[in-house]
Amino acid sequence: MNVIEIYAEALSKCLQDALTYDEVLQLIEKPKFQEQGDLAFPCFTLAKQYRKAPVVIAQEIAPSIQEPLFEKVVAEGPYVNCFLNKEEVSKHILQSILTKGSQYGSEDIGEGGAITIDFSSPNIAKPFSMGHLRSTVIGNALANIVEKCGYQPIRINHLGDWGTQFGKLIVAYKLWGNKKAVQKNPITELLQLYVRFHSVAETQPELDDEARLWFKKLEDGDEEALSLWRWFRVESLKEFSRIYSLLGVVFDSYNGEAFYNDKMDAAIVLLNEINLLSESDGAEVVDLSEVGLPPCLIKKSDGATLYATRDVTAAIYRQENYHFKKAIYVVGHEQSLHFKQIFLVLEKMGFGWAKNMVHVPFGFILKDGKKMSTRKGKIVLLEQVIEEAIDLAKRNINVKNPNLENKEEIAKNVGVGAIIFHDLKNDRLNNIEFSLEEMLKFEGSTGPYVQYTHARACSILRKAAVLNFPTKGLSDSHSWSVVKLLIEFPTMVQRSMQLYEPSVIAKYMIELAQEFNKYYSHVKVLHKDDEMNDRVALVRSVTIVLKEGLRLLGVKAPEEM
């Protein structure tokens, strides 16, 4: 139990039945100014229940809270503020971190329950662009975070391997494709064909009708259409696998849209049996007007299915196979309406578990202020960006530490880490302007800065040689600033899970790195005195938390840089 939880427990005992322990824990915050204490509990929510002013409630509560780890507890206006005993708390926290190691901050909130996480999901026969980065790294981080909180993540790559775009690609290939050129450089050639189709279709709209016909052939099992589709899929997966390997991302399932083709009829039959389907202009829809939403289109007038049909089917399949406690969809915010419709359709079908389905939206990666578009060929290939990042990291290492061993591996960790961290330090709903220069800065609020801080701390530990558990605790202001941040790590992990927001951890990592670097510049860690052992324990604790925090984000933590 960390000190925040100890404070929450002491408060909840004092409040008896007024607030639960969990409610108290959620309310605890940091005082605005350092001289006001280390932890604060606001009494506003108790005013109505106690029929007293929050200031009076704080004055009544404060004197009754006593604990060896607390120096004093005082009323500060409507707040009950706690001043922690620096020596006792620092010893307690450092011992806890050194004992638990990478398990520090782990909780069993999920009790092993499954959470399906649908993320990345690139389209077959299109290059893996920077536009796919956000879903991939946010989803991967959330999978790591929910696992840290005691859930079993099921990482699903719901590939875009079906739909009218394949009708377009087949038409483009039959009109302008060259088999040898596609075999030599499949993704580049297929992209050019796709872009050309959209360009020509602007003046020849009959191509869109032909594309729809070819997709219908694909759905009906036409051998020529299926043969081309399978070829496009195999070549695409080779490229995707290479990029996932570079990013350190793995999946439990690559079942894409096509996987559900033979399972959709059962879902449609069920919708019919409970009279949820109605006709609209020849199409079959689920009416959602009672909640102010447009109808959810299940089947087009030509009999073709849609994203909604497959997503409803996929949700039912996943619940039957994984028995998920929660299903998370990491998909851009432009799909918000789609997921509202899907979740409501499943609820109307009588599936109570649909209330545990969550859309986690995010903003765009922009180039020159505009969304990247595959149709118009305005894309930046992720693999090229990764290669440039690794190359720049290598050049920096050659300048700063030319004799470093394992330069190639460390350059890869730093380059890839820079890209991932740059994305995750931003609130996910914000748009991010693509800037290779900004992404690869090796100072300031960046992944390489946090990685370098970890490597610097590891260097101190190598010189210290021996590490024992803390004995007397640390009370100086520089140590205390670091200890207070170390206390917060478990809270940050839980908050990032509750908000589906990896940036909570990324921003915390930056703050901890900055505070440690201040500490390092003011304190001689290896000065031989009776506090040296405790200082080394503090450094070791920082390396544990930095490494684990970076791991949760999907970033490696080199011990040398």
* pLDDT tens sequence across 198-254: 999 999 999 999 999 999 899 889 999 999 999 998 888 888 998 999 999 999 999
Mean pLDDT of 473-491: 95
CB 533, CB 94: distance < 8 Å? no
Closest among 384, 267, 388 to 318, alpha carbons compared: 267
pLDDT in tens, 352-407: 999 999 999 999 888 777 776 555 555 677 888 899 999 988 988 898 889 999 99
pLDDT at 377: 54
Tokens representing residue 229 in the block:
């589709």
**Mean pLDDT, the chain, integer:** 92
pLDDT at 311: 96
Given pLDDT bands bounded at 50, 70 and 90, which one contains residue 130?
confident
pLDDT at 385: 87
At residue 341, the 3 state secondary structure works out as helix
DSSP state of 481: H
What is the b/e burial string over 83-101, where b = at least 16 CB atoms within 10 angstroms of the residue's CB? Answer: bbbbbbbbbbbbbbbbeee
pLDDT in tens, 47-77: 999 999 999 999 999 999 999 999 999 999 9
More reliable by pLDDT, 112 or 18: 112
pLDDT in tens, 277-293: 999 888 999 999 999 99
Helix axes 223-247, 407-424, angle to 10 degrees: 100
- Asked whether the domain spanning 398-553 has the same topology as the one spanning 3-84, the reply is no
CATH architecture for the domain at 3-84: 2-Layer Sandwich (3.30)
pLDDT in tens, 159-191: 999 888 899 999 999 999 999 998 888 888 998
Per DSSP, helices labelled H in 298-402 are: 307-322, 336-348, 382-400
**Separation of alpha carbons 163 and 166, rounded Å:** 6
DSSP string covering 147-164? HHTT-EEEEE---B--SH
pLDDT at 305: 72
Q: What is the CATH number of domain 114-258+318-371?
A: 3.40.50.620
- Domain locations in the chain? 3-84, 114-258+318-371, 398-553
Tokens representing residue 80 in the block:
């009950």
CATH superfamily of 398-553: Isoleucyl-tRNA Synthetase; Domain 1 (1.10.730.10)
pLDDT at 338: 97
pLDDT at 121: 94
- Cα–Cα–Cα angle for 388, 394, 399, rounded to 5 degrees: 130
pLDDT at 374: 53
Which secondary-structure segment (H or E) carries 484? helix 477-499
Helix axes 186-201, 164-176, angle to 10 degrees: 100
CB 540, CB 486: distance < 8 Å? no
pLDDT at 106: 97
pLDDT at 375: 52
The pTM of the whole model exceeds 0.95: no
More reliable by pLDDT, 489 or 401: 489
Q: What is the 3-state secondary structure (H, E, C) of 94-132?
A: HHHHHHHHHHCCCCCCCCCCEEEEECCCCECCCCCEHHH
